[in-house]
Amino acid sequence: MYVLINAAVRGEVSFCLLTDQGTLHQQETYPGQNKDVITLLASFLSSQSLAPDAVSGIGVVEGIGGFTSTRIATLVANTFGYVHDLAVIGISEAVFADPSPDIVSAFAAATPGIPLHPAYSGEPNIRIKGQSSKEQ
């Protein structure tokens, strides 16, 4: 089974579970913030009665959404992939919304255990408390 993570939408984290043939098995959206990705992933896998070692690869939506959300989702996927020696790939929001069996070849082409270096939608927005971005 393959797991896809989408943390690009503010206030929710979504997961897709794909079969080994790349067809959609289950999709769920949870209310939560980017900081909740790891606990929500554990809840999602548990709700599917799926042990972590049953996952064959992880895909992460990149290039859209907040910088921090992309960073955290990628960090969780990379850590999970490293620990379980899995392929981690970046995907578009369109692929997440409508996965096709072609995604299996993307996982097969990726090297397990090698971290994903995500594409971000923009620069991080870092501010000093009490100052506007113009004052920095």
Confidence at residue 120, expressed as pLDDT on a 0 to 100 scale: 67
Confidence at residue 34, expressed as pLDDT on a 0 to 100 scale: 78
pLDDT in tens, the chain (136 residues): 999 999 888 888 899 988 888 878 888 888 988 788 888 988 899 898 888 889 999 999 987 777 777 888 888 889 889 999 999 999 888 888 888 888 888 888 988 878 887 776 656 566 677 766 555 5
Tens digit of each residue's pLDDT (9 = 90 or more) over 11-40: 888 999 888 888 788 888 889 887 888 889
Topology annotation, domain 2-109? Nucleotidyltransferase; domain 5 (3.30.420)
Domain limits, the chain: 2-109
Please report the DSSP string for the chain in residue order. Answer: -EEEEE--STTEEEEEEE-TTS-EEEEEEEE--GGGHHHHHHHHHHHTT--GGG--EEEEE-SSS-HHHHHHHHHHHHHHHHHHT-EEEEE-HHHHHS--TTHHHHHHHSPTTPPP-PPPSS------TT--TTT-
